[in-house]
Structure formats: C-alpha cells, structure tokens
Amino acid sequence: MTVSVEVAAIREFLAGCPPFDELPAEVLGHAASKVQIAYYRAGDPSAILDYSSPRLYVVRTGAFEVRDSEGQLLDRVEPGGYFGYPSLLTGDAITNQLTVIEDGLVYQLDGDLFQELRSASRPFDRFFNRAHANRLRHAVRFREQSYQLTRRVGDICSREPVIASVDQTVTEVARLMTAERVSSVMVVDGGGRLCGLVTDRDLRIRVVAEGRSADTPLADIMTTDLVSVSAESLVFEATLLMTEHNIHHLPVLRDGNPAGMMTTTDLIKAQKADPVLLIGEVGHQETVAGLQRVSRDIPELLGSLIRAGASADQVGRLLTTVTDALTRQLIHQAMGKLGAAPTAFAWLAFGSQGRQDQAAISDQDNGLLLSDGATGEDDSYFKALATYVNDGLDRCGYKYCPGEVMAITDRWRQPLADWKKQFLGWINQPSTKALMHASIFFDMRCVFGDKALFANLQKTVCNAARGNEIFLANLTANALKLTPPMGFFKHFVLEHSGEHKHAFDMKLRGIMPINDIARIHALAAGSTEIHTLARLREAATNRQISLKDARNLIDAHEFISRLRLEHQGAMLKAGSKPDNYLDPKTLSSLSRHQLRDAFAVVTSAQAALRVKFTRGLM
C-alpha cells in the first residue's frame, strides 16, 4: 500500500515562508504533514486563539491584527506571517487578542511540533526569538499623545539602586555615597527588605549638626517613615506623592524589593523627554535663542525614546516632527520680522527630513519653492527669509548642508517653472554623474506654505519619472555603487579613509542602499510616497517586488537603523558627538548574525534591481 500523507501544496507554501525554508527537507515534510487548517471570517468576534493550547498560526490567506489586552495594535499579519508564537516561546498565558480583518485560511502547528522544530533548526529558533523581540519593542507602551500620563516610574528611573545595610556605619555609607555619586541610599534589613532612607541632608542634620560619632549605625539616623512607589506606578502618581510630601527622593520598589531611586532630577529629565511638550515649547519661542535653548533637549528626547524601546521608524518620525516644528517656528519668526510673504511659496525638506527618518545627527537639506509670479524684488524677501531660517536651524544643531542644499543657495530658491526645469533635466537628460547628488531631491516634502504649489511640482516629477527607463537605469547605476560591506565579517574592515578606518558607515552602506531601492520603485510607479517603509509596502502592493522581499527590506532597514540609534544613544550618553560609524568589535554575536542577514537582504535586492532596471541599458 502506498501511503503518502504529504500535501505538496502545503509543503511548498511553508517552504516559501522563512524560517521554514531553513528546515532540513525531512523535517519540513514532517511539519507539513502535521498541519491543522482552520478558516476565519472577517469580523467574527469570537476568539481565535486557542487559549487552552498555544500553537503557531501561519496565515495562508486573509489578514489579521494582533492587539494587546488593552487594544493596542502590535502586529498586522498577512499571508506568510505568524502569530501565537510569544506564548509558545515564553510559556506565559495568551493575553493578546486577534481580529480577523479579511477572511482567511490559517495553518496551525501545535506546541509540541513547534518545540521540535526549534530544536531541529537553530535558524528556525532564532527567527522566532527575534520576531518576539521585535514584537516586544513595538509593544512598548509608547503613545505620542498622553505620553507623560502613561509612562511608568520604572521607565524613567535613571539608575540601579544604591543600597546600604542597616548595620553599616555613617562613615561607610558616606564613602559609598561619594563613590557612587548619589545624594541618597536605600537601607535594607537582614532580609533585604527596605527599612530606611539616608540622604545627604540626614548626614548634615542628624550626624554633623548633632555631633554624633562617625561609627553611629545607620539605624539611628535613617528616615524610617518612608514613602515609596512601585515601579509600575505612573510617573504622574509619583510626581503627586513627591509634591504632597515635599520630598526629593522616592524609593522605587519592584515586587517589594528596592529597584531604584526616583529623584526630582529624573522628573525634570522625563519632562524634557516628552515630544509633545517639547513641540509645544517650540511653538512658544519668539526668538532664535529661545529655539536654541529648547533644541538642547533633543538629545535627551532621543535618549528616552531609545530607552523606551521605540522602533527606529517611530524615532525617525518623531525627531523629524521636531525638526519640522522648529523650521515652521523659524519661518513664523522671520515673517514676523520681514512682514507677510509677497507671493505664494512652499518650504521644502529633502533627504532624511523629507523621508521622516532623521537620526541624532542631521544636516540641513531644504529649499524654497516660489510661485511663478515671483519678481527679483520678491526674491530678496525670500533670500532674507531663507537666511533667517537656515541660520536658525544651524544654531539649533542642524548643521549647514556641506553640499549647500539649502534655501539660502540661489539655485535651490526658485519659482515653480525653474524647479520643474531642474527636475525634468535630471529625469529627461539623465547622466549618472548629474544624478549622483540629486537623489535627495526626489525625497521631498512640503513643511510649510502653499500645498497646491508643491503638489503641482510633485505631479510633474512623478509623471515624468514613471516608467522612464533611461532615468531609472541611471538612478539604479548610482544606487548600486553603495553596497553593504559583505567582506565586513571576514576582515572587519572598513571605510577606506579617515578616523573611522575600522568602522562601518551604517548610514552610507546600510540604510541608504535601502532608501535608494525604495525610491527607485516609487519613482518607477510614479508614486508620491516618500517614506522608505511606506514606499516598500506600496511596491509590494503594486507587485513591483514580492511581499517577502518588501518585508525583508523593511526588517533590514529597521534593524540597521535601530543599531545606529543605539550607537548614537550611547555616544550621546557618553557626552561625545554622535556619528554613523559602527565598530564591529562592539557587536554581539547575535547582532552580527542579524547584520549579516540584513546585508544579504540588501545585496540580493540590489541584484534584483540591477536586473529589473539596468537591463541592456548600462
């Protein structure tokens, strides 16, 4: 008797879903033969997740949304995507909820089989661990609005607790506080429970002023009438407590154990780190000096976003929102001084500000688009406006563009007709050389001014670029010059020049190539989308690239951007000037593996780009 229990169609589908493609053939066959299949209908409110037995769900058709118990969207799952793995990995009960957005078929693997596959294949195991880590990052309760109100004490508490034992002496604790550079310590009893608090002030008032000996045990001088707070409490509650009791130090407990000390300094920092407040502040500044002062808090904002685990995409959008607000406020200030504009105009942002993916260091990339009626006299107004804004941005930390792509430069402050001529020149008579520095212009966004004027220019550009093979071929030829350093892992090398000889430029060799790929696909389709991840998603929707490739590129972009953010966050914390250079020695082996995966994704997408756009032309 011939018994074949494998359904080829199901095996093939799984084989196309990473990490199933990494499974040895016989293990894949075994997994495919154990699949269970269910069908879910859109809008069916019944819980799909089987709470009694966690399993891995693989979406075959349809679309699903995963939300946490509070309804916050964690993930949107489409064909080839997964859900249900967090509880399989952690063993915790299922708390997330699932919504069916579009009817679909879901393959399910039971928990035992999932564990079997994890032990059979390291890449399989690693894939789901990483997916889980990503999900956690996105899950961090990070909401732009009401940020301050929803933050927890544990998120802003700046350091580990400094702890003394109740039988230590005053001298010992004074030394400890000096060494740790803190103004207070938490005192614990023999069982490790918090029993008191000693501050600088206690040492002054209860020891020195009362003439006690240096051998006095802490028990005699510590404050025992304690107010403390749980790490899970809202920052808002902690602030109330401190005000109410007029105290500057608040012990933070987690499960009853000392977890940290919250101080008034932490609170002030936390406030600076609130993007909503910061942007609100920007809007109140009447002078450049005022904006300069407010923008000093941007590094603190960045640090807190990184600590809060925001995704690189969220951070990029937020930082850009701040830059946009500063730009607008500078324009308002300039118009306050110069009077109303003589004709319609639009302030354009290019490059990373255009794409909304700014990081810790950003140069200016901007321009002014004037209505066609603008006269020479009008231009002197706009030149003065541009000077004010460009100088203001420079003082706020956005350095002058080394390539002079700024509104202050005459060439980048032009009436609509001239901007069109400029773009059509790039598009219709392209040369690789002319396009070399032009790519940032194709990531343009209107930050202030006449939206219709901008839309007019954008439409001309999109129509001219759509399907323009020669232009796209030239753009592609440029894009292919920047490749991920695949040799990186062999030799741990290297930018060729300068002080960063042994480092990898994450922006130039990692993030830019993905931006380039996204831009070329968007232009090929005549799309007005400028955000890199949105461009990639759109390219997948238009079937310019496969969904799998789009997802891989999005993940690679997020991963490298996140690596860059963490690097920059660490440099800011150390008080040094952030840069884009990653020293390979600082990478954990897991990050190295992931970086290698990310490079491979970019390299293969570049190869596909070459085939698609330079065929026979380059």
Partner 1 sequence: MLAGWTYQLKQKRHLARCQHGRMREYLRAAAPCRKADFRQGSYLAVDLEMTGMEADSDHILSIGFVPIDNMRVMLAGARHILVSSPLGVGQSAVIHGIHDRDMVGASALSEAMDCLLEALQGRVLLLHYAALDLAFLREASQRLYGVPLLAMVVDTLVLENQRLQRNSTGQHGQGLRLSDCRRRYNLPDYHAHNALVDAVATAELFLAQVAHRFGREHAPLARIISG
Binding site for partner 1 (CB under 8 A): 1-5, 7-10, 13, 32-41, 44-46, 60-62, 102-105, 108
Nearer to partner 1, 380 or 541 (CB): 541
**Helix (H), strand (E) at residue 55:** strand 55-59
Contact predicate 525/613, CB 8 Å: no
Give the shortest CB-82-to-partner 1 separation in angstroms: 17
Nearer to partner 1, 60 or 355 (CB): 60
Nearer to partner 1, 33 or 604 (CB): 33
Map residue 237 onto helix, strand or coil: helix
Q: Which two tokens stand for residue 338?
A: 């110069």
223 Cβ neighbours under 8 A, 6+ residues apart: 196, 197, 198, 199, 202
Nearer to partner 1, 59 or 550 (CB): 59
What would the DSSP string read from start to end of 10-30? HHHHHHTSTTGGGS-HHHHHH
The closest of 317, 318, 325 to 285, measured between CA atoms, is: 325
Q: Which two tokens stand for residue 292?
A: 């300069």
Nearer to partner 1, 102 or 116 (CB): 102
Give the shortest CB-469-to-partner 1 separation in angstroms: 33
Map residue 560 onto helix, strand or coil: helix
Give the shortest CB-347-to-partner 1 separation in angstroms: 46
Give the shortest CB-551-to-partner 1 separation in angstroms: 19
Between the two ends of the chain, the Cα-to-Cα distance in Å is 59
Map residue 261 onto helix, strand or coil: strand
Residue type, 260: G
**Helix (H), strand (E) at residue 407:** none
44 Cβ neighbours under 8 A, 6+ residues apart: 100
Please compute, for residue 309, the number of CA atoms within 13 A of its CA located in the half-sphere on the CB side: 12
CA distance 360 to 506: 13
Give the shortest CB-516-to-partner 1 separation in angstroms: 34
Q: What is the dihedral of CA 518, 522, 525, 529, to 10 degrees?
A: 140
Give the shortest CB-17-to-partner 1 separation in angstroms: 13
Give the shortest CB-112-to-partner 1 separation in angstroms: 12
Nearer to partner 1, 13 or 124 (CB): 13
What would the DSSP string read from start to end of 191-215? TS-EEEEEEHHHIIIIIITTT--TT
Contact predicate 279/306, CB 8 Å: no
Give the shortest CB-61-to-partner 1 separation in angstroms: 5
Nearer to partner 1, 37 or 617 (CB): 37
Nearer to partner 1, 2 or 589 (CB): 2
Give the shortest CB-116-to-partner 1 separation in angstroms: 13
Nearer to partner 1, 52 or 178 (CB): 52
Q: Which two tokens stand for residue 550?
A: 């789009």
